[in-house]
């Protein structure tokens, strides 16, 4: 039997591992651990330093790059081990995802347990995974040249690719779980599509905020400063106005703040419109989940900002984005023919 339950479990396992990788990636970012491993070895890099000499060699390599020289020059070997752990586990999970996707795919292919459409979709998934690995190293390289931090553009590419890969893997699994889909209302489907696009734009700007550490300033809500909805630095930085909104810390935070209101509004409108339409049970449940999740995520965003991005809140906020994307993907699937 093609596209059986084992195939679904395989795809959902991949989704779970991508989720775990993004969570660990968030911790890696928030603990400033992402540049602790300064080289890339696909096979041998899976094994961490196993003795004091190997640890010292890894630390000596780290000392050659800007992060140690400009930020962590006070680190000793024990400090280095702490940040090394998170980047190492992040890369190990990435390798595990590759193994989990490739080996079962080849097995199912040989056993002829995949339909032709699923084979094509699986190849796209493999390509997305390979691209994600490349972007990860491309991102790290940007922090090994002059400045002790990675490009926020490359960080956004890395995070967005992970979210897209997760959403697509979930979509392929849903295609197998629900082989028959019935389109109820085109206008509502298009509204959910618009919501998905806006949510992805919001995720990109969230990555910009993370990459620029823009959540560490303007820690007020609903104002950006005491008594002011817009902080002066959104407009007064010495660069063209449009660049403030993609490169300026204040401008990037401004966009991320107000896109959040738009995401809440469009999901609220989807819920309002759905009340006037006859829905299946799964469609109704998916929209209710979206409504609850968007308010939870909004609250997490506000708390993360007010408390200046403590690690646990920053991670929870990223987890919330994942659940919101999963909910949006599921809802869109339920409204797609």
Q: What is the pLDDT of residue 237?
A: 57
pLDDT on residue 294? 97
pLDDT digits (tens, 9 = 90+) for 272-325: 999 888 888 888 999 999 999 999 999 999 999 999 999 999 999 999 999 999
Measured CA to CA, the distance from residue 70 to residue 74 in angstroms comes to 10
In the structure encoding, which two tokens stand for residue 152, read together? 């926020």
In whole angstroms, what is the distance from residue 204 CA to residue 206 CA? Answer: 5
> How high is the pLDDT of residue 239?
66
pLDDT one-digit tens code per residue, 130-161: 998 889 888 888 877 777 788 899 999 999 99
Mean pLDDT over each residue of the chain, to the nearest integer: 88
Helices (H), the chain: 5-30, 52-62, 66, 77-110, 116-141, 152-177, 186-212, 233-236, 241-244, 249-274, 281-306, 311-334
- pLDDT score recorded for residue 304: 95
pTM, full prediction: 0.90
Q: How far apart are CA 120 and CA 332, in angstroms?
A: 21
Q: What angle do CA 290, 157, 188 make, to 5 degrees?
A: 30
User: What are the pLDDT tens digits along the chain (337 aa)?
Assistant: 576 889 999 999 999 999 999 999 999 888 888 888 887 777 767 888 888 898 998 888 888 888 888 888 888 889 898 888 988 999 999 999 999 999 999 999 998 898 899 999 999 999 999 998 889 888 888 877 777 788 899 999 999 999 999 999 999 999 999 887 666 678 889 999 999 999 999 999 999 999 899 899 888 888 887 666 666 666 655 667 778 888 888 889 999 999 999 999 999 999 999 988 888 888 899 999 999 999 999 999 999 999 999 999 999 999 999 999 999 999 999 888 7
Rounded Cα gap, residues 48 and 59, in angstroms? 12
């Amino acid at each position: 039997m093609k596209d059986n339950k084992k195939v679904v479990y395989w795809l959902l396992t991949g989704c779970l591992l991508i989720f775990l990788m993004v969570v660990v990636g968030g911790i890696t970012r928030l603990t400033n651990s992402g540049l602790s491993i300064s080289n890339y070895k696909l096979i041998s890099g899976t094994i961490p330093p196993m003795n004091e000499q190997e640890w010292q060699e890894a630390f000596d390599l780290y000392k050659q790059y800007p992060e140690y020289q400009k930020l962590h020059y006070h680190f000793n070997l024990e400090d280095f081990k702490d940040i090394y752990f998170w980047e190492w586990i992040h890369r190990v999970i990435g390798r595990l995802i590759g193994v989990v996707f490739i080996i079962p795919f080849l097995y199912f292919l040989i056993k002829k347990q995949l339909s032709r459409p699923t084979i094509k979709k699986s190849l796209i998934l493999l390509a997305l995974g390979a691209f994600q690995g490349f972007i990860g190293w491309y991102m790290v390289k940007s922090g090994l040249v002059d400045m002790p931090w990675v490009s926020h553009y490359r960080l956004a590419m890395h995070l967005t690719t992970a979210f897209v890969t997760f959403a697509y893997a979930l979509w392929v699994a849903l295609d197998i779980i629900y082989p028959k889909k019935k389109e109820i209302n085109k206008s509502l489907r298009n509204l959910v599509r618009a919501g998905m696009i806006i949510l992805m734009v919001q995720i990109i700007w969230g990555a910009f905020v993370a990459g620029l550490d823009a959540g560490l300033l303007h820690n007020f809500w609903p104002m950006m400063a005491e008594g002011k909805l817009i902080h002066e630095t959104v407009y007064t930085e010495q660069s063209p106005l449009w660049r403030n909104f993609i490169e300026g810390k204040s401008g990037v935070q401004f966009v991320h703040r107000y896109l959040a209101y738009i995401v809440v509004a469009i999901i609220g409108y989807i819920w309002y419109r759905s009340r006037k339409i006859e829905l299946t049970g799964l469609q109704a449940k998916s929209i209710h989940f979206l409504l609850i999740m968007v308010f939870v995520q909004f609250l997490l965003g506000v708390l993360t900002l007010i408390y200046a991005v403590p690690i646990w809140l920053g991670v929870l906020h990223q987890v919330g984005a994942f659940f919101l994307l999963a909910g949006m993907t599921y809802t869109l699937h339920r409204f797609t023919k």
